Amino acid sequence: MLNNISEAIKEVENFSPKTKEDIEVFRLRFLAKSGTLNSFFNEFKNIPNQEKKEVGQMLNKLKNLVKEKTTNPLLSNKTEKKVGLEDLSKPVANNCIGSRHPLSIIEQEIVEIFSSIGFSISEGPEIEDDWHNFTALNVPKNHPARDMQDTFFIQTNPDILLRTHTSSVQARYMQKNDPPIRTISPGRVYRNEAVSSRSHCLFHQIEGLYIDKDVSFADLKQTLLYFAKKLFGKKSKIRLRPSYFPFTEPSAEVDVYWGLETESDYRITKGTGWLEVLGCGMVDPAVLENCEIDSKTYTGFAFGMGIERIAMLKYKVDDLRLFYENDIRFLNQFSNSI
């Protein structure tokens, strides 16, 4: 038996694998249930006691050699090149760092800007009821303004829907908190629109709300000018154009001056140099009363913007769908924006 074990030891010591398959065949030959090692151990119990010490030492040596060859075949550079396996004990190369999504980057920038001037963050459900999404915001049943937003309703319950804006979060916040209120509501919203380079059935918004005594339109304008200068640069200019929203009065669209320095600037701004970035206005007194806030004592302003639109402007992306396709070539461009 000693001769057989000695020959097995020599064979294992001379074993030099060239492929992964060689290693697997070797492992099965020696370590399988019916393999060489088990055969030797089965014979071990039948040998005389005076020989067991020497035979046992030889068996342990054989076992350790087999284990070494099968669990760590990369004992030398020569073997490593032949086998083509990776040494898992090597330190990991830190040369592939992930990045945040561009929409997350822009959202965080906006949140930080408004947080720096005292706005808190409020969140609410994406599956909303009709009252918080429409009625509380001065859009009662059969109101024409409901046609401004194509809504996804839950078929089994027409009073439950996917929220069309994060203004519903503001309605909930006003019900639960007394003025002064200063909050922003980032989140995902849904509208039944055709998917194209400029629109999608889901997108992200950040809406802001400020309610206190003696809040004026001038406060709104200065807040938005501060925001524009922080996000787009100190030389940024804004302009306000009259508009209509059912939950604010008066209402306005806000444009940022983009410039006309390149052909792309002419195309994006349609030759005007101005780009629309958000909507805003003074909170309608009816909305305050719906949310149990005294409209004779308090006034406020609200604003809302699409994160995708801001990201498209800042990163000069001309197709909104790129944000949702998870194309690694597109996303890798933002790896330095962490």
What is the C-alpha radius of gyration for the chain, rounded to an integer number of angstroms?
A: 35
Q: How is residue 179 written in tokens?
A: 């003025």
| Identity of the amino acid at 283 | V
The arithmetic mean of pLDDT across residues 232-242, rounded, is 91
The reported pLDDT for the residue numbered 72 is 54
The reported pLDDT for the residue numbered 15 is 80
The reported pLDDT for the residue numbered 83 is 47
Q: What are phi and psi of 192, to 5 degrees?
A: -80, 75
Residues 176-199: tens digit of each pLDDT: 999 999 999 999 999 888 888 777
Q: Where are the domains of the chain?
A: 2-83, 102-337
What is the CATH T-level fold of the domain 102-337, as seen in this structure? BirA Bifunctional Protein; domain 2 (3.30.930)
What lies within 8 Å, CB to CB, of 1 at 6+ separation is 40, 43, 47, 55
Q: 222 pLDDT exceeds 70?
A: yes
The reported pLDDT for the residue numbered 47 is 79
The reported pLDDT for the residue numbered 81 is 45
Q: CA 29, CA 26: separation in Å to the nearest integer? A: 5
> Which range (41-50, 87-96, 269-278) has the least confidence?
87-96
The reported pLDDT for the residue numbered 77 is 43
- Choose from 146-150, 171-175, 197-201, 313-317 the range with maximum mean pLDDT: 171-175
Residues 109-158: tens digit of each pLDDT: 999 999 999 999 999 999 999 999 999 999 888 777 677 668 888 878 87
CA atoms within 13 A on the CB side of 79: 15
The reported pLDDT for the residue numbered 337 is 59
Residues 70-96: tens digit of each pLDDT: 775 544 444 444 445 566 677 766 666
The reported pLDDT for the residue numbered 76 is 43
pTM of the model: 0.67
